[in-house]
Structure 1
Amino acid sequence: MAAIRNFLLTASVASVAVASSGGTLKSCLKYALPDIGSVAFPGDLFYQAVDVNRYNLNIHVTPAAVTFPTSSQQVAAVVKCAADNGYPVQAKSGGHSYGNYGLGGTDGAVVVDLKHLQQFSMDSTTWVATIGSGTLLGDVTQRLHNAGGRVMSHGTCPQVGSGGHFTIGGLGPTSRQFGAALDHIVEAEVVLANSSIVTASDTQNQDIFFAIKGAASGFGIVTEFKVRTEPEPGMAVKYEYTLKVGSTEERASLFKKWQAYVSDPNLTRKLASTLTLLDDSMVITGTFFGTEEEYNALDIGSQWPGVNGSAIVFQDWLGLVGNWAEEAVLQLGGGVPSNFYSKSTAWTPSNLMDSGTIDRMFEYIDSADKGTLAWFVLFDFQGGYTNDIPTDATAYVHRDVLVWLQSYSINLLGSVTQTQINFLDQLNTLVTNDKAPYSAYPGYVDPLMANGPEAYWGSNLARLQQIKEEIDPKNVFRNPQSPSPAN
């Protein structure tokens, strides 16, 4: 840890032109970002609707300012203005935090909107791509394709921003083969709380590199990534099996068969699978990265007889990604702001739900008052490459997870009700047998969860708090559930 402090005291960092620290936040930011439209404040026309633009309408938050820097140097200038005037800072890339944490999560933060950081290049020798942290996932896919038919793992919603997604986890259909998005990062440019601009990698500023790969929002603002890429998969088969309605027993039986199938340690990493529970159906979807003949050899349909199935063969990568994007739109509105509540939890191969717990889960789901018809529960199959990485290699700690649960409750008519919250809370309690702290995915934050940091970062939390003490002791980069300094 001392090495970090010494580095910060002696390193040559980019100069930052800002107003004197004695100035107000407003005058400081206007001096740092002189271009028209580069900073907005409460009271400005359309401030909430355009500049703030909350994703979760159920969580009201008013930032002290929203800034739109165009370079790492301007990001650093904004951080200095905020820190000198005692304001917390949070970065916003795509703005899809379930707790509006990119807006601070509570009133009074300085928001650094990264949308102008769109730089991209590809080293055709190493196939390492340089990506600006304001790039949306849809643009990441297209630019990697145009630069030599390359890919990296990430989620399927094209409007999600890379700045948050790459640094919190970044799971997607190819993660079993290539890892999470953060596993692709080989180097990052980071603005720290003292407004210095540093490079972090496995060989320099290793503690910072550890922290940004899973918990970046509490440690700095990544302005640029260098990521390893893979060749685009060739053919792929997109499959879907649907059980319409079905009795409680039939639904539980199908879930047990799916869980048994995906928990086979010998199952190919080319297969991705998700089971979705809806009000009137149960759907198993996924992608097999290979030929139609290879897919047919798996004989997936025989695993759940009597369930209607279909498959689509994709010859090109962009066609497959476009299909995933269409599905994302049908789930949580595809990036459209709404009033919703969400929770997550996970299972490892050693603590999967037993038969009795699965039965109780479906009995509860079929009988509980949900408070809305707009709800769904996803069970995402992970494992594979994501399990190959040691737990303490990155801040992202969930290296033994085989299945993630994501539950959602949406109110299309107004604020989320307590009935909706109770439905998801009690579901989590039931499926985990009330064992706290739960494991929770840090990309699906639950602002109402009391033990958030423990659930998100587990055994890595203590190290994160020590790093925080070294590089951000005044807790400049913070949201309601980010790691706090050790002291």
Structure 2
Amino acid sequence: MPPAEKDPNANGKPSDDEAVIEKAKKEYNKLKSRFDLGRIIPNVILPALVGAAVWARQPSDNQFTAPPAALRKCLDSVCAGADNCVRYPASGENREYFQWASPFNLGRIVLPAAVVRPSTDEQVSGFVRCAADSNVKVQARSGGHSYANYGVGGLLGDIDDLLDNQKGNRAFPHGGGLGPSSRMWGATLDHVVEAKVVTANGTIVTASEAKYPDLFFAIRGAAAGFGIVTQFVIKTVEKPKKTLHFTHRTPYTNSEGIVEQFKRWREMVADKKLDHRIGTEFALDPEGSKITATWFGTRQDFDQSGIAERLGLKLTPVESSWVNTKRWQYENAVLTLSDIPTEFFSRSLGFTADDATSFNATERLVQLIAANKSQSKLKWFCIFDATGGKVAEPAMDSTAYAHRDKVMFYQSYLYNIWAPLTADEKGLLSGIHETIVGGIPTRSPSTYPGYIDPLLENPQEAYWGPNLDRLEAIKREWDPEDVFHNPQSVRPAKLKL
């Protein structure tokens, strides 16, 4: 989730939509204009470059490595002379290579052997075969919002607009496991009916519950390690007629109030009977705490839910329609900024209901942040997102997604647009993470795969938990040579002799 600018309004007071969106667009254009190649290449060579479709090893001595001649010949053959089909690194000479492989996190250094833009399923297949034959790894860049430049993100805003304009009453259930509407509708992956997948040997298959169910299982929650999906068929849902949203801020001068609010909020989201129509998060940033929520229903329904009483707050929700809700517009204005490459540092963790209710470090966490909030002049935040609800209803082994038992996820995020982060600047978030981990009863850390955490000691176990053994077996069947690879993807199971 991209970092949001400070919301000056509290208690649900609506923002000036047009002004917010226009300001965001102007800021985006201003910042993006500074990311010409003269500025981005130094950052790319030193801190990072993203892997796109054809993955390369990490470079030594910050040198660009020419792709193998056989790989280049093969990729060029698949392109068959088409423009805007493939770009290669060439010691900084190929400007379009950098533009195509624009990194999201400038703190992770990866140089693709090539970046390809296929226009057909057959081209995707051809490119995968080329890479496999040259022993080069492959990853789909997708929306390019991967925290560690693995390329597993996506852009879905246009789908929302299309559904609203053409169907009028349909909506798209955002979030692989998280999102304001996921507690009400469930994870997006639970709405997938079938997926067209290019597999490691270049074969194109359509996977579903009826056809290739093992691959279909893996694609829904661990797709980056199993293939390139060129098409999803997804069930849409009927959009709610009314939505509400509210925001409540508390400054650190009232740290006791923040502690009490966080305890109440945790107890509320840990309640498995909590109404599915509420999507909410609790955030800490340099200004204090912020509780935000979206309610998919009427004001009368919200008042009867008792949520305000459970939080112990006097709230003034703002009511609006689905697409025109003020919160929706504000979030999309912030997402306009999310294409800007930055160097950032992030940690994350998932909480079960027992973790949330037994968490014993709230006071220490708030005191730590209040005492060090001005330590860094950079942008940072620490967010706890509620999950559960409909997400928790499918069985743990119904898909690769292994966090049906979670009621919230935490992620901390520190970023700098203009310069590399220093160890001292990362210190605050490291302290936050250590405090949070120390406040949970001893168990193995686990977290949402969308919150990629490169510092995890056992990432596969953390992301896929009880489903990992099955995923490794499926990987051995579909991709034994680990063609679809990133540093934290599922590995093929070893053959037992």
TM bucket (normalised to shorter chain) is 0.7 to 0.9
- Return closer, same or farther for 1:32/1:61 CA change in 2, 3 Å cut-off: same
Identity percentage over the alignment?
A: 38
Letter in 1 for 2:86: V
2:451 and 2:341 map into 1 onto residues whose CA distance is 15
Contact 1:79 1:195 (8 Å CA) reproduced: yes
SS of 1:363's partner is: helix
Corresponding residue of 1:388? 393
Letter in 2 for 1:207: D
What CA deviation, in whole Å up to 9, does each residue of 1:74-107 have, x standing for no partner? 100100011111110000110000000129xxxx
* Greater shift in the superposed pair: 335-344 or 241-250: 241-250
Corresponding residue of 1:38? 85
SS of 1:395's partner is: coil
Per the TM alignment, residue 201 of structure 1 is displaced from its structure 2 partner at its CA by 0.7
Per the TM alignment, residue 47 of structure 1 is displaced from its structure 2 partner at its CA by 3.5
Corresponding residue of 2:479? 472
- Return closer, same or farther for 1:353/1:428 CA change in 2, 3 Å cut-off: farther
1:456 and 1:248 map into 2 onto residues whose CA distance is 33
Corresponding residue of 2:96? 47
Does 2:450 correspond to 1:443?
yes
What CA deviation, in whole Å up to 9, does each residue of 1:345-364 have, x standing for no partner? 11111221536321222222
SS of 2:317's partner is: strand
Aligned partner (choices 147, 150, 156) of residue 170 of structure 2? 150
Per the TM alignment, residue 310 of structure 1 is displaced from its structure 2 partner at its CA by 3.5
Contact 2:180 2:294 (8 Å CA) reproduced: yes
Per the TM alignment, residue 241 of structure 1 is displaced from its structure 2 partner at its CA by 1.2
* Greater shift in the superposed pair: 87-96 or 295-304: 295-304
- Return closer, same or farther for 1:48/1:276 CA change in 2, 3 Å cut-off: farther
Aligned partner (choices 420, 423, 435) of residue 418 of structure 1? 423
Letter in 2 for 1:137: L
Per the TM alignment, residue 390 of structure 1 is displaced from its structure 2 partner at its CA by 0.9
Corresponding residue of 2:148? 99
2:174 and 2:124 map into 1 onto residues whose CA distance is 25
2:336 and 2:249 map into 1 onto residues whose CA distance is 20
Letter in 2 for 1:151: A
- Return closer, same or farther for 1:340/1:248 CA change in 2, 3 Å cut-off: same
Corresponding residue of 2:41? none
What CA deviation, in whole Å up to 9, does each residue of 1:385-415 have, x standing for no partner? 1111111111110001101111101124411
* Greater shift in the superposed pair: 455-464 or 346-355: 346-355
* Greater shift in the superposed pair: 359-368 or 222-231: 359-368
1:341 and 1:308 map into 2 onto residues whose CA distance is 35
- Return closer, same or farther for 1:372/1:483 CA change in 2, 3 Å cut-off: farther
Does 2:222 correspond to 1:215?
yes
Aligned partner (choices 320, 328, 333) of residue 314 of structure 1? 320
Per the TM alignment, residue 368 of structure 1 is displaced from its structure 2 partner at its CA by 4.4
What CA deviation, in whole Å up to 9, does each residue of 1:100-149 have, x standing for no partner? 0129xxxxxxxxxxxxxxxxxxxxxxxxxxxxxx9731111122223422
Corresponding residue of 2:51? none
Contact 1:153 1:173 (8 Å CA) reproduced: no
Structure 1, unaligned stretches of length 5 or more? 1-21, 104-133, 156-168
Letter in 2 for 1:78: F
Letter in 2 for 1:386: V
Per the TM alignment, residue 300 of structure 1 is displaced from its structure 2 partner at its CA by 3.9
Does 2:476 correspond to 1:456?
no
Contact 1:153 1:179 (8 Å CA) reproduced: yes
Contact 1:48 1:62 (8 Å CA) reproduced: no
SS of 1:342's partner is: strand
Letter in 2 for 1:28: C
1:350 and 1:170 map into 2 onto residues whose CA distance is 20
1:302 and 1:197 map into 2 onto residues whose CA distance is 53
Q: Write out aligned runs for 1:75-474 (5 A).
A: 75-102=124-151, 136-148=155-167, 149-155=169-175, 169-305=176-312, 309-315=315-321, 317-320=322-325, 323-327=327-331, 329-330=333-334, 333-354=337-358, 356-368=360-372, 371-433=376-438, 435=442, 437-474=444-481
- Return closer, same or farther for 1:441/1:303 CA change in 2, 3 Å cut-off: same
Per the TM alignment, residue 190 of structure 1 is displaced from its structure 2 partner at its CA by 0.4
Letter in 1 for 2:172: M
Contact 2:226 2:478 (8 Å CA) reproduced: yes
Contact 2:245 2:295 (8 Å CA) reproduced: yes
1:332 and 1:486 map into 2 onto residues whose CA distance is 41
Per the TM alignment, residue 51 of structure 1 is displaced from its structure 2 partner at its CA by 0.9
Per the TM alignment, residue 299 of structure 1 is displaced from its structure 2 partner at its CA by 4.9
SS of 1:319's partner is: coil
- Return closer, same or farther for 1:415/1:329 CA change in 2, 3 Å cut-off: farther
* Greater shift in the superposed pair: 442-451 or 395-404: 442-451
SS of 2:361's partner is: helix
Bigger RCO (CA 8 Å, 6+ sep): 2
- Return closer, same or farther for 1:462/1:135 CA change in 2, 3 Å cut-off: closer
Letter in 2 for 1:202: E
Letter in 1 for 2:192: I
* Greater shift in the superposed pair: 372-381 or 328-337: 328-337
Corresponding residue of 1:68? 117
Contact 1:397 1:458 (8 Å CA) reproduced: yes
* Greater shift in the superposed pair: 360-369 or 135-144: 360-369
Contact 1:377 1:408 (8 Å CA) reproduced: yes
RMSD: 2.3
TM-score scaled by length of structure 2:
0.79
Per the TM alignment, residue 170 of structure 1 is displaced from its structure 2 partner at its CA by 4.2
1:31 and 1:356 map into 2 onto residues whose CA distance is 60
SS of 1:286's partner is: strand
What CA deviation, in whole Å up to 9, does each residue of 1:314-355 have, x standing for no partner? 12x2213x7335236548943322111111111111221536
Contact 1:371 1:417 (8 Å CA) reproduced: no
Letter in 2 for 1:313: E
Letter in 2 for 1:221: I
- Return closer, same or farther for 1:403/1:93 CA change in 2, 3 Å cut-off: same
1:37 and 1:340 map into 2 onto residues whose CA distance is 30
Contact 2:144 2:154 (8 Å CA) reproduced: no
Contact 2:87 2:114 (8 Å CA) reproduced: yes
SS of 1:29's partner is: helix
Per the TM alignment, residue 30 of structure 1 is displaced from its structure 2 partner at its CA by 1.1
